[in-house]
A and B are shown apart, each in its own frame.
Chain A
């Protein structure tokens, strides 16, 4: 009988399991992306914010930016900013997964505008109150009211000045095809990093297929080392692991530090991505999130970005990196959906072995 009981148990478990698997699709769908009420305009409720204990953000900000944000926020509210740094697509992917799980784990987001548009479309963001939108000029506001532009991220070639002199540094993108740079280039993987995918898409549009193809295949033949994140590229070039890098121009200062070992090549026009700020829908810490927005869009935090070399959307701030304010910035196209998939497949064919 005991044997029968055990066998029965196993069979019952298997039946329950099969039922669970079969029922999985019938599980209740996540609630329709609710338009949560916008956070309150006006002054922040400090006590309520503090009582929530912390605020959580996902963003492409670099360590020093997170650190400054945390310092400013903690100083005012006495609670920390917990952050997770990733590339745009990873952040979008994580938020999608969390929302699929019916979980709201993030309070605010800092990614590029077209990734934020995608998140907005899915209902993962809430509209910003008018007083926060008014912190930046109208041209820096999302027409749908979800986000505001924080900083621009110009893209270029940079190099380690201990390994490459200014005279021998490449002057154009196509100079990278010189055989002397073979094996010495680091760059974000154009099939993984959406910003570089969009950059190369833009080059293909501007140069035409033939010239772009020649450049991409020539660059791939230089055997570049491909990282997921542009930050990995700049830290590696800064530390001398590679002579040249493709990535964010301002990392020359924000990663290399003042008087550091990196310099950049001025491209004309200079392609640029951006980072915009938004609040998540149904944030787990609503009051702390409102308070965070207040700090994030404060003149002090804009100035801290400018001090690291970033062109910001706040009038009156100036990049601490020489020449950046004079760059002819050209915004990257919003590359999503099928066009993005097609470009990724094209670049994979060239850059992946």
Chain B
């Protein structure tokens, strides 16, 4: 994992739990002394309330998934406990075929993302390839492109009949058959990798940057080629980071819904998440009990893997190469190969960012998809943008998306700040447990969590179903660990002495937070907040399960436009989202100074 010395928010997709264990190890003993709020003081009650709320948000939907899986009744209605869903799901050979497909997909996505991410991270962080310092910035362009849009772009580019790439290949070769077929399992893995390699890059770049260059230098002195050094020196040193990234991306692949929905369903290829979606949203009447039961197996798998991942991280000291001795990482001189290395990076960038974004831009400007395919540049215009901006539903979706993103990020960061304050400044016995509890929904596939939320909140005393508030609850529940990590990594760097001095001078808790903690942790908070805003703007899986007419968000409209064949408005709305996301991502990079990773 990345170094903990820099004040930064966790990167998008970074495991908060992984960082949690690192933070736990570096937390100074003095900072962990007893929290000194007087008994039954408002602060103590506030702490109890915040922790209770966080525990409720995390545990309630998780337990409701389990409760729902034993229910034979309708959503939220009384029903006796039964095993019939388990018999129907897990005594069915089809489920194991589904499991096999899911595992192949998740392993494929994790492995290919890590391979691409590692090679590019090594080029970007450890070599003198031209543009190396810009690479950590550039990889965020494909990450800012939501998977939903990437999938649509690749369908237009690589569908077997009229995909632009296939037509170009046919024109070049004279062959009749398609060169690419996005509607296939390899196609699904390819589309997902285009997005997720950026995550692998981020984790691995941080790890590679932290490696002691002495071994590489020794290998170089012994005459090893750059590639031999990569294979025999850098790779073994980075193995813990590679493994943890692999594990994390496997979980991401397991819970992935967007690419399987857009690309897998048309190909007749189903994974657990799409099967759950079908049970709830397409099957009639919806079978929430069976959906919850389908969700149990990936939930158990993800939790086991997360636990194993935690253990690996916790035992990672034996691989430590960052020692007390000062050193400055040196970049490997690739000689003439450096141009090839940059060309490789640019090729991946072109495939993962330029091609799909360019395709979306073209589709958003062309009057019809056929015109876009024919590259009819004479008739490009802004008609689809005008359509979007004149459509009350699209405008409402944009407004809902912004409200949810801003409010959700603020809520998650606010709650995260309180929890982090309590866990870093107190000796609360349940401190470690809280981190695990917070992590629970994070390990759940979003569609599984959405099923739990529906079970839990559909007949909640406060009516939230049918409003944007159920989406807010879903977003905050899923991503609260981000808020917690972003704030706790900042808080542990603020020495307790500052607060003690303020306390001695008569400042109350509120004043200490306002005058000391908030200003000092602001960069980390802003970084984490911005990342959450972007994540919420592009959230798809939960939104598709929880929305109702009136609470649409932009990604739900993508799916709606896609199923209705409205490629132009989809492209236009997608481009607007990408531009806003990119602006925020780059602001995040500046605020959280992630680019310093590449500065070695």
Interface residues of chain A, those whose CB is within 8 Å of chain B, are: 1-10, 12-14, 16-18, 20-21, 24-30, 56, 58, 62-63, 80, 82-85, 87-90, 92-94, 96-98, 100-103, 105-106, 115, 118, 183-184, 189, 192, 194, 220, 225-229, 231-232, 234-236, 238-243, 255, 261, 348, 351-353
Contact = CB atoms under 8 A, between A and B. Distances in A.
Interface in B32-72: 34-41, 43-45, 47-49, 51-53, 55-56, 59-60, 63-64, 67, 71
A17 B437 CA distance: 13
**How many B residues are at the interface, by size bracket?**
35 or more
Contact of B429 (A7, A29, A88): A7
Nearest to A89: B284
Contact of B162 (A30, A220, A241, A353): A241
Contacts of B563: 227-229, 231-232
Contacts of A88: 284
Given A27-B78, A105-B548, A90 B161 contact: no
Interface string B1-41: 00000000000000000000000000000000011111111
A13 B55 contact: yes
Contact of A115 (B40, B160, B284, B458): B284
B456 interface: yes
Contacts of B466: 98, 101, 103, 105
B515 interface: no
B503 interface: no
A267 to B, nearest CB: 23
Given A9-B47, A96-B284, A24 B64 contact: yes
A63 B159 CA distance: 25
Contacts of B456: 24
A239 B77 contact: no
B71 A225 contact: no
A8 B284 contact: no
A225 B183 contact: yes
B368 interface: yes
Interface of B: 34-41, 43-45, 47-49, 51-53, 55-56, 59-60, 63-64, 67, 71, 73-79, 94, 101, 159-162, 178, 181, 183, 185, 265-270, 278, 280-286, 368-370, 373, 392-393, 422, 426-430, 433-434, 454-456, 458-459, 463, 465-466, 548-550, 560, 562-567
Given A102-B459, A239-B368, A13 B565 contact: no
B580 to A, nearest CB: 25
Contacts of B181: 183
B284 A100 contact: no
A13 B74 contact: no
Contacts of B428: 3, 6-7, 10
A2 B284 contact: no
Contact of B564 (A13, A85, A105): A85
Main secondary structure of the interface of B (DSSP, over half): loop
A6 B75 contact: no
A84 B393 CA distance: 10
B284 A17 contact: no
A14 B63 CA distance: 12
21 contacts: A2-B426, A5-B47, A6-B422, A12-B52, A13-B53, A21-B64, A56-B549, A62-B564, A63-B564, A82-B550, A85-B560, A96-B75, A97-B465, A102-B463, A106-B549, A227-B563, A228-B265, A231-B565, A232-B565, A242-B162, A352-B270
A239 B268 CA distance: 22
Contact of B465 (A82, A83, A101): A101
B491 to A, nearest CB: 17
A106 B567 CA distance: 28
B51 A10 contact: yes
B58 to A, nearest CB: 9
Given A25-B71, A27-B76, A241-B162, A17 B56 contact: yes
Nearest to B160: A183
B48 A353 contact: no
Interface centre among B74, B267, B285 (most CB of A within 10 A): B285
A82 B564 contact: no
Contact of B282 (A6, A87, A231): A87
Contacts of B282: 87, 89-90, 93, 192, 228
Contacts of B368: 239
Given A85-B564, A352-B270, A242 B161 contact: yes
A134 B183 CA distance: 49
B78 A26 contact: yes
Nearest to A261: B370
Contacts of A93: 280-286
A8 to B, nearest CB: 7
